[in-house]
């Protein structure tokens, strides 16, 4: 299966983007396609944007930078990137979150070996070290357990009241926005803007809940595949992020 990595980005986080893209390039498996959807692109000089495209078009088989003059919030920005994916597996990342070197490989493994449509994983803080692991040893929660926690009734609108916090919050440090899906999910579920939300406090909550409810083929794996602090991207040197010293990544 091929993978498309969709990264919504803002002008502020564009400063982090080259480092984050290098991390994905140095991963054990690279995404086949990378799509960056840039909100308010006119705030980044055209020459700087062109340099990023030129650099990473040679690093990935298919690299796309979508430029949006208007301001897009989280949901519409993810939806814009989703609209041009070409791979069967769609992986979402943020421009300011550092990926584990095995992130793409691990996600791809679970889609290729399990009948799932939707996968979430854990995240860690920037002062924690990524741990290397054997994919075969990764534990997971399947749709049966997710149904028990979220869909205990026939009214999906009641889900938020039974399960406070973010999607998967009762199952560990689950990152709702850095998820992965089969592309076919997008035929029935779309990323919403703030004013369109009906189920919960954020667009990633709603997207995950809708997908889990419609397809009944969701999974949560208990391994940290993202570092969730923007300053990490600015401060971690690439020299420590290679296949020989990856255990030393701070």
Digit-coded pLDDT (tens) for 152-196: 877 888 787 777 778 998 899 999 999 999 999 999 999 999 999
3.30.1280.10, 3.20.20.330, 3.90.550.10, 3.40.50.2300: CATH of 3-236: 3.90.550.10
CA dist 138 to 26, 135, 190, Å?
Answer: 22, 5, 29
Residue 62 token pair: 């298919």
Residue 17 token pair: 């983007």
The rounded mean pLDDT for the chain is 90
Give the C-alpha separation, 21 to 96, whole Å: 10
Q: What are phi and psi of 159, to 5 degrees?
A: -55, -45
Q: What are phi and psi of 68, to 5 degrees?
A: -120, 120
Give the C-alpha separation, 155 to 144, whole Å: 18
pTM: 0.91
The pLDDT of residue 108 is 98
Instruction: Judge contact between 176 and 166, C-beta under 8 A.
Output: yes
CA dist 200 to 144, 160, 173, 178, 212, Å?
Answer: 22, 6, 18, 17, 14
Transcribe 123-159 into DSSP letters: EE-TTSPP----GGG--EE-HHHHHHHH-SSS-GGGH
Mean pLDDT of 139-149: 94
The pLDDT of residue 126 is 82
Instruction: Judge contact between 206 and 192, C-beta under 8 A.
Output: yes
The pLDDT of residue 18 is 93
Higher-pLDDT residue of 211, 169: 211
Per-residue pLDDT tens digits for 43-83: 999 999 999 999 999 999 999 999 999 999 999 999 999 99
Instruction: Judge contact between 191 and 75, C-beta under 8 A.
Output: yes
Taking the C-alpha atoms of 132, 227, 17 and 35 in order, what is their torsion angle to the nearest 10 degrees? 80
The pLDDT of residue 158 is 79
The pLDDT of residue 81 is 98
């Amino acid at each position: 299966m091929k993978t498309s990595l969709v990264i919504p980005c803002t002008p502020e986080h564009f400063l982090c983007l080259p480092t984050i893209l290098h991390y994905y390039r140095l991963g054990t498996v690279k995404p086949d396609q990378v799509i960056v959807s840039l909100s308010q692109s006119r705030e980044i000089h055209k020459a700087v944007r062109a340099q990023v495209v030129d650099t990473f078009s040679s690093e990935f088989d298919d690299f796309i930078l979508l430029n949006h003059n208007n301001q897009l919030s989280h949901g519409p920005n993810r939806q814009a990137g989703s609209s041009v994916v070409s791979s069967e597996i769609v992986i979402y990342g943020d421009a300011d979150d550092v990926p584990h070197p095995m992130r793409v490989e691990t996600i791809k493994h679970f889609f290729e070996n399990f009948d799932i449509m939707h996968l979430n994983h854990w995240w860690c803080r920037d002062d924690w070290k990524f741990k290397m692991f054997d994919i075969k040893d990764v534990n997971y929660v399947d749709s049966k357990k997710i149904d028990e926690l979220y869909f205990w009734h026939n009214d999906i609108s009641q889900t938020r009241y039974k399960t406070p916090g973010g999607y998967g919050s009762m199952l560990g440090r689950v990152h709702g926005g850095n998820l992965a899906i089969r592309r076919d999910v997008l035929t029935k579920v779309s990323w919403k803007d703030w004013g369109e939300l009906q189920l919960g406090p954020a667009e990633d909550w709603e997207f995950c809940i809708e997908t889990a409810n419609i397809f009944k083929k969701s999974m949560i794996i208990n391994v940290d595949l993202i570092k969730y602090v923007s300053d990490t991207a600015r401060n971690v040197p690439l020299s420590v992020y290679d296949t020989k010293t990856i255990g030393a990544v701070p």
